[in-house]
Every structure is written in structure tokens, then in C-alpha cells.
Structure 1
Amino acid sequence: MAKFMDVHTSMTGVSAEDLKAAHQADLDIQGEEGVDFQQAWADPTTGHVFCLSEAPNAEAVRRIHERTGHPADQIHEITITV
């Protein structure tokens, strides 16, 4: 499966608890699209949240985030890692 980094840009003020709840919502239904959300990071000051996942495609990631109420503004496939 491919790896993806998605970016949310409008989550200003997100707390650790908010991030954990949003991530858990994704985890609860990720299997329905064959996605494996692995990690999430946030900067509450800028409102940026970053999520790392493995998925069959970017659309599967998009659908999960949309269904859980926090759509991604950008989804990037990661093709090179070191």
C-alpha cells in the first residue's frame, strides 16, 4: 500500500484531547476503506494537523476524513523515504 501525509489547515486551537478524539474517529472506520492511520501531529497555533497513513489511494483517505467530520485540505502521496 502507498503512504500518505494529509494536511488539515483549519484546526486552530486543537487540543491533545481533540486530536486524540479525531484520530480515534478515523481509526474506528478506517478498515471500511482499507486505510491504516498511523500517526497524527498538530500545531494548535496555526491550526495545522498532519496525519500519516497507508491506504490503497488518496481518495480512501479523503473519504474517511470526510465521514468523520474533519476533511483534509491536502493529501500527499509519499514516494521517497530515507
Structure 2
Amino acid sequence: MTRFMDVHHGMEGLTADGLKQAHQADLAIEKDEGVHFEKAWADPASGTVYCLSEGPSADAVQRVHERAGHPADEIHPVPLTV
């Protein structure tokens, strides 16, 4: 499995509750694609959201986000961590 960092733009004004709801929507269906969403961060002022996940492919990550109603604008593999 590969780790991915994805980026969502255009989510200005997102609240902590809104971020939690979006993350929960991903968690509810992630197993359908063999993905696990680990964590999400947001900057409500810029409207940028970041999600860290692990899964078989960027396409699988995107399918979960699309079904949850918030497709990612960018998905980057992050195979190295320290």
C-alpha cells in the first residue's frame, strides 16, 4: 500500500465540524476501495484541505472522495516518511 497526500481547494470557511463530517464520509466508504484515510487538515482562510491516506492507488483515493462528495484537486504519492 502507498500513502497519499491529497489536496482540496475552494473550501473557504470550512469549520472544524465540517472537516470532521467530510472525513467521516470518507471513513464510511473507504473499505469499498481498500483505502484508509488517516488524518485531515484544513486552512479555512485559504480554503485548502489536506488528507493523508493509504491505499492501492490514487484512483482509489479519488473514487472515495468523489462518492463522499468532495473530489480532490491533487493527489500525490508519499512513499517515504521519517
Query: Same fold per TM (> 0.5)?
Result: yes
Q: Cα RMSD over matched residues?
A: 0.5
* Secondary structure, aligned partner of 1:37: strand
Counterpart for residue 29 of structure 1: 29
The number of residues matched between the two structures is 82
Q: Distance in 1 between matches of 2:13 and 2:51?
A: 17
Q: Residues 1-82 of structure 1 correspond to what in structure 2 (within 5 A)? A: 1-82=1-82
Normalised to the residue count of structure 2, the TM-score between the two structures is 0.98
Secondary structure of the residue aligned to 1:25 is helix
Which consecutive unaligned segments of at least 5 residues does structure 1 have? none
TM-score by length of 1: 0.98
Identity percentage of aligned residues: 61
CA displacement at 1:42 relative to structure 2: 0.2
Deviation at 1:23, TM superposition (A): 0.2
Unaligned ranges ≥5, structure 2: none
CA distance in 1 between partners of 2:75 and 2:67 (Å): 16
